[in-house]
Amino acid sequence: MDCGSGGGGLGASGSGGDHDSSDLSRRKKPYHRHTAHQIQRLESMFKECPHPDEKQRLQLSRELGLAPRQIKFWFQNRRTQMKAQHERADNSALRAENDKIRCENIAIREALKNVICPSCGGPPANEDSYFDDQKMRMENAQLKEELDRVSSIAAKYIGRPISQLPPVQPVHISSLDFRMASFDGYGVGAGPSLDLDLLPGSSSSMPNLPFQPVVISDIDKSLMSDIAANAMEELLRLLQTNEPLWIKSTNDGKDALNLESYERIFPKPNNTHFKSPNIRVEASRDSGVVIMNGLALVDMFMDSNKWLELFPTIVSIAKTIEVISPGMLGTHSGSLQLMYEELQVLSPLVPTREFYTLRYCQQIEQGLWAIVNVSYDLPQFASQCRSHRLPSGCLIQDMPNGYSKVTWLEHVEIEDKTPIHRLYRDLVHSGSAFGAERWLTTLQRMCERFACLMVSSTSTRDLGGVIPSPDGKRSMMKLAQRMVNNFCTSVGTSNSHRSTTLSGSNEIGVRVTVHKSSDPGQPNGIVLSAATTFWLPVSPQNVFNFFKDERTRPQWDVLSNGNAVQEVAHIANGSHPGNCISVLRAFNTSHNNMLILQESCIDSSGSLVVYCPVDLPAINVAMSGEDPSYIPLLPSGFTITPDGHLEQGDGASTSSSTGHGRSSGGSLITVAFQILVSSLPSAKLNLDSVTIVNNLIGTTVQQIKAALNCPSS
């Protein structure tokens, strides 16, 4: 079955590229329309007898000059058409009745709010009052506990109770220049300091995250099932239909949604979900082949933890709130889940997008699945979400060679509370930042990585003979993946991560955050993270080559002091030579037992170069095939993204070209560093450390611009 073929009515033909010759032959076949007299006679016969027998069909055939086969097909099609009309009428009547009942329900609830008790003149007691009292008592106890904790901290560090403290003033960090500081150490010095326990967001308890459990009634579950079924119907039509719903963009040749046709075919009660003039609609569609079978993909998509591992550069948080229906065992067909999801662009300049989503899986036929995502509004979180996902998702079709053909659709309404930063305006407004191409290319790259992880044989050409076994290779790949995941978390702007923003984007555009690290696999203590994004008139491919090449590393790595590095181990994890893991060793350094673990990855939507210092004993543990989960990592690195312009930036012959044949313009580069400023979780943060990390990023940016012959301003 060709996923790209149209699913229209009679005479509709597919547009699959594999059937061009058959399509041409179909176009050459002449079609004869029935005359008005023939149609009138057939309609009158249909009213008398919708199911004519063979004798009646032969009589009509002779009377109208049509073949008996034509008469038979006409009556079949007419019966199908009548059935569809009746179903649509029934659906409309049921929807109207449902809307009427819903309005009556709302009116009754509003009336109950204003009921007055005739005895006392106050609000009447209800059956939930006991639970309301219990909830208030629990909240009161939590607030008292929090107050006692803060009071004890104040008494310990300040010497007087919190009631005697003056009003808290916001912390202002002065403007930081590019003067190079000493990088011999990052310990606490003699400068001013902050107590992290008194900063907002630094509580040791779990924050009030938006994906906490909610109570879902049977009525809600029934409504969710209806919404998911309607969304699946819309998704399949959008994925399988070309014109008039989709037209080719004249700029880049991508599929663009024809909004007029969409609104005519899928009329909505309201044009938009939000009542605001700052509403944008983003719609994109893309398809490609993935190195993984369909059932394995479905299994990963329907598991929120695996989904997060599959898309660490796009998905910052994914949690299953409730499983509405588990579906069929083994195929996930019929599975329906309510999920919370937060999506990101790896830059401090782009806010995340939050969705409460119904994810529904349906097996269409043997070897063909569809998964739809559609927003579901939870009343308690309605004010938090400024993003609304219209029916989106993918069609997954098994291929004979064990691969899958995936057709992806993204369709969202966005309310921009604040204008998009000028650097990312073109990329975001074009739909590329969160669009289908980015999802699909990331999926293709990650599936190649999983395929390399599963390969049991080792190649001495790839590994340089350093990694002795397949288990060692897999352990190194898992360690590198955890490093990349940690880096993506540090760069993102998620509000749910337990960190405190010390300074927003100041005049040099650096965002600095701090958090206490106590998780296994990370160094214990106070971690300072800093990130900035800047633009260069150089193609993304050339920038990626510059960062990946160990020969040019001394030109940008401030902490290497100009020392050369050598690659001592190499693991390929994709078909592109840029997708690999490297172990690097620096020459002429006093830290002979320290190596650099680095992973680089690239696709048409962008690229990453992430690295982390790891001591030699820890690398040996991973290379021997042991569990690398507890090796502490604090990665830094770069993300490179096309800027959204279509013109060529530097005129280089090695321009980054996407699968649609467009040439990229300049590059948006995000630099991010993480530094352990103290190994004591109870230590105070020295503000000199903020100055140091700002200077570190500023100097790195200046050296990158100088090495690539770009102006410093």
pLDDT above 70: residue 86? yes
> Would you place residue 273 in the very low, low, confident or very high pLDDT band (cuts 50, 70, 90)?
low
pLDDT for 284: 93
Determine contact, residues 115/124, Cβ cutoff 8 Å: yes
In angstroms, rounded to a whole number, what is the distance separating the alpha carbons of residues 294 and 331?
Answer: 10
pLDDT above 80: residue 619? yes
For residue 514, give the nearest of 199, 184, 210 by alpha carbon. 199
> Would you place residue 653 in the very low, low, confident or very high pLDDT band (cuts 50, 70, 90)?
very low
pLDDT above 80: residue 607? yes
Q: What is the mean pLDDT of residues 632-658?
A: 66
pLDDT above 70: residue 274? no
Higher pLDDT, 483 or 692: 483
Strand-pairing partners, residue 685, are: 194
> Would you place residue 9 in the very low, low, confident or very high pLDDT band (cuts 50, 70, 90)?
very low
Least confident of 407-411, 459-463, 520-524: 459-463
pLDDT for 543: 95
Pick the most confident of 180-184, 264-268, 467-471: 264-268
pLDDT tens figures, 206-261: 344 555 667 788 888 899 999 999 999 999 999 998 888 999 887 777 888 998 99
Determine contact, residues 613/593, Cβ cutoff 8 Å: no
Least confident of 187-191, 348-352, 596-600, 613-617: 187-191
pLDDT tens figures, 379-406: 766 555 678 999 999 999 999 998 999 9
Q: Could you identify the residue written with the tokens 């997008």? A: 353
Higher pLDDT, 20 or 574: 574
Residue 560, φ and ψ in degrees, nearest 5: -85, -10
Domain ranges of the chain: 39-85, 218-269+283-425, 470-645+664-708
pLDDT tens figures, 104-119: 888 887 777 666 665 5
Determine contact, residues 33/267, Cβ cutoff 8 Å: no
Residues 6+ apart with CB under 8 A from 159: none
pLDDT for 243: 85
Is the bond preceding residue 244 a cis peptide, omega within 30 degrees?
yes
pLDDT above 60: residue 279? yes
Query: Which amino acid, residue 606?
Result: G
pLDDT tens figures, 463-473: 455 777 888 89
Q: Percentage of residues in the chain with pLDDT exceeding 90?
A: 34
pLDDT above 80: residue 504? no
pLDDT tens figures, 510-566: 888 888 877 778 888 888 888 999 999 999 999 999 999 989 998 998 767 778 888
pLDDT for 514: 83
pLDDT for 250: 78
Least confident of 436-440, 479-483, 523-527, 658-662: 658-662
Beta strand ranges found along 298-447 (DSSP E)? 315-325, 336-343, 353-365, 368-375, 387-389, 392-398, 404-415
> Would you place residue 681 in the very low, low, confident or very high pLDDT band (cuts 50, 70, 90)?
low
pLDDT above 70: residue 497? no
In angstroms, rounded to a whole number, what is the distance separating the alpha carbons of residues 497 and 491?
Answer: 11
pLDDT above 60: residue 418? yes
Determine contact, residues 359/372, Cβ cutoff 8 Å: yes
Residue 577's CB: how many other CB atoms inside 10 A?
10
pLDDT for 1: 40
259 sits in which H/E element: helix 259-265
Higher pLDDT, 645 or 322: 322
From the candidate CATH numbers 1.10.10.60, 3.30.70.260, 3.30.360.10, 3.30.110.30, the one assigned to the domain spanning 39-85: 1.10.10.60
Q: What is the mean pLDDT of residues 45-54?
A: 88
In angstroms, rounded to a whole number, what is the distance separating the alpha carbons of residues 358 and 303?
Answer: 13
User: Is 218-269+283-425 the same fold as 39-85?
Assistant: no
CATH of domain 218-269+283-425: 3.30.530.20
Least confident of 188-202, 393-407, 459-473, 621-635: 188-202
For residue 391, give the nearest of 234, 544, 196 by alpha carbon. 234
Higher pLDDT, 693 or 155: 693
pLDDT above 60: residue 686? yes
330: left (phi over 0), alpha (psi -120 to 50) or beta: left
pLDDT for 493: 73
Residues in the chain: 713
pLDDT tens figures, 334-367: 999 999 999 999 999 998 999 999 999 999 999 9
In angstroms, rounded to a whole number, what is the distance separating the alpha carbons of residues 142 and 679?
Answer: 30
Structural fold of domain 470-645+664-708: Alpha-D-Glucose-1,6-Bisphosphate; Chain A, domain 4 (3.30.530)
Mean of the per-residue pLDDT values for the chain?
A: 78
Q: What is the mean pLDDT of residues 643-660?
A: 47
Residues 6+ apart with CB under 8 A from 669: 533, 534, 535, 536, 543, 638, 639, 640, 641, 704
Determine contact, residues 483/610, Cβ cutoff 8 Å: yes
pLDDT for 11: 38
Q: Is the pTM of this model over 0.75?
A: no
> Would you place residue 268 in the very low, low, confident or very high pLDDT band (cuts 50, 70, 90)?
confident
